[in-house]
């Protein structure tokens, strides 16, 4: 009897430690997100100061409207599908969760592909990162966002593999919630880029 009581206490202690660890991981993610907000705020500030420093070359008026409108549309849809993935998770629908994560990652990949082709086209026209202070700040801001999206896609693929093997557990639930939050954050940053860099640029 005593042995089972002590086993129960040790189990309870183990659970408590597990909960603490999960809580710490979520806290760690929030700290990461705050530092990311500061990083993007700095890049936006630099862009705002340098956007008129075009060195007589490529200006914001030359951005191709269809490209950035399509990119925005794709990212907004991917934010919606990541929300559907979380809904499937809450319904304990593993198949639905994995399917929506696959769709979200695929849309993210299309977005990155469009961004790379936009950068390549600009570089081919002589608008490279070293050409002017404006282009340096543009590529730094938009490129950093693109790298974050690429990282999110890889993270999602890893999570899809984990979900296929382990299913919906407390750990995978936390990871899905975090990746969804991260994805919505990137979507919010893109809305600022869309407005400040592209829309205000072409006006």
Q: Encoding tokens for residue 134? A: 């404006």
What would the 3-class secondary structure string for 11-65 be?
HHHHHHHHHHHHHHHHHHHHHHHHHHHHHHHHHHHHHHHHCCCCCCCCCHHHCCH
* pLDDT of the chain, 203 residues: tens digit per residue: 544 444 444 445 555 566 678 788 889 999 999 999 999 999 999 999 999 999 999 999 999 999 999 999 999 999 999 999 999 999 999 999 999 999 999 999 999 999 999 999 999 999 999 999 999 999 999 999 999 999 999 999 999 999 999 999 999 999 999 999 999 999 999 999 999 999 999 99
DSSP, residue by residue, 142-195: HHHHHHHHHHHHHHHHHHHHHHHHH-S-HHHHHHHHHHHHHHHHHHHHHHHIII
Q: What domains are defined for the chain?
A: 2-202 (1.20.120.80)
pLDDT for the residue 6 = 46
pLDDT in tens, 158-175: 999 999 999 999 999 999
pLDDT for the residue 17 = 60
pTM of the model: 0.89
pLDDT for the residue 10 = 46
pLDDT for the residue 88 = 98
């Amino acid at each position: 009897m005593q042995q089972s009581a002590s086993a129960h206490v040790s189990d309870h202690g183990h659970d408590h430690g597990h909960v603490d660890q999960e809580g710490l991981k979520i806290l760690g993610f929030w700290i990461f997100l705050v530092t990311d907000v500061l990083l993007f705020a700095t890049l936006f500030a630099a862009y705002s100061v340098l956007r008129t420093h075009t060195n007589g070359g490529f200006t914001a008026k030359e951005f191709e409207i269809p490209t950035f409108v399509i990119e925005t549309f794709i990212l907004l849809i991917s934010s919606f599908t990541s929300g559907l993935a979380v809904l499937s998770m809450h319904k304990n629908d593993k198949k639905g969760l994995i399917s929506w994560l696959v769709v979200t990652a695929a849309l993210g990949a299309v977005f990155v592909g469009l961004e790379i082709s936009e950068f390549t086209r600009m570089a081919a026209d002589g608008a490279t990162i070293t050409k002017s202070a404006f282009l340096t700040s543009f590529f730094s801001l938009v490129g950093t966002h693109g790298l974050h999206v690429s990282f999110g896609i890889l993270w999602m693929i890893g999570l899809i593999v984990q979900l296929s093997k382990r299913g919906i557990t407390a750990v995978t639930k936390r990871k899905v919630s975090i990746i969804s939050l991260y994805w919505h954050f990137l979507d919010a940053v893109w809305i600022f880029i869309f407005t400040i860099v592209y829309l205000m640029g072409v006006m």
